Amino acid sequence: MAKEEQVSFDIYQPFGPSILKTKLPQVYLDAVNEHADNILNDEKLSKERDWSHNLAGNVKKEISIDHMKIKGLPEFLATVSQEYAKQVLPDYLPEGTKVSFRVWAVSQVAGDFNPIHIHDSNLSGVCFLKIPPKFDEEYKKEDHHPTAGCLEFIGSIPNHFARHSFLVKPEAGDFYLFPSWLAHQVYPFRCEGERRSMAFNVHFSMDDPVKGVNV
């Protein structure tokens, strides 16, 4: 990531665990979509990169992403992960810590959904890459607690004076980072088109066998 680029973000703490929100720069958004298009439009490559057997979702197309081939993306992910850790737990990352990522894309169409699940890592994240053309129209039609295509974080059981869930309406470029143990789910939608997202796990280690980025 170029030195002159500044990353701005907000950190939400709706029910205990903190959730970071930022925007994926357009240059990376376009590059990830192009990379995903090249895989999804190639039947053979899609089968080779199929990642659905490792995931919880009821989604037909989930593919692994080679994030190291997308210039600047590993550094962006490392910067955001580092800043999150520094602000939430200032002493969490000792000097020399490396950060590595597992990245995949989820191509969701009408009826697809992700049930409540957690991830096996330190931090996890999602960035919305594409939204169906008529998604907003469908969302607005749900006049009572709209959930179509939404991501929901679940922090606790319902109780008085305690917020137990945090609902996120997908917008292209919106980027969220959160503790991997935080339960979450994705609701189905009905309109035509693709709801595409990039999901990833973040692993911090002093001696990581996976190629990592110094933080």
d(CA 117, CA 190): 22
In angstroms, the CA 20 to CA 13 distance is: 9
Q: What is the mean pLDDT of each run of 10 residues along the chain (215 residues)?
A: 71 76 97 98 96 91 96 96 89 85 97 96 97 94 88 84 87 97 96 98 75 44
* CATH 2.40.160.20 correct for 10-207: no
Predicted local confidence at residue 44, as pLDDT: 96
pLDDT of 103 = 98
The pLDDT score that the predictor gives to residue 144 is 77
Q: How far, in Å, CA of 188 to CA of 82, rounded?
A: 32
Give the C-alpha separation, 198 to 191, whole Å.
Answer: 20
Q: pTM of the prediction? A: 0.88
Helices (H) then strands (E): counts for the chain: 4, 12
CB atoms within 10 A of CB 209: 7
Distance CA(102)–CA(85), nearest Å, equals 18
Burial class (CB in 10 A: 0-12, 13-18, 19+), 108: buried
Distance CA 7, CA 28 (A): 13
What's the confidence (pLDDT) of residue 91? Answer: 80
Give, as one character, the DSSP assignment of residue 72: T
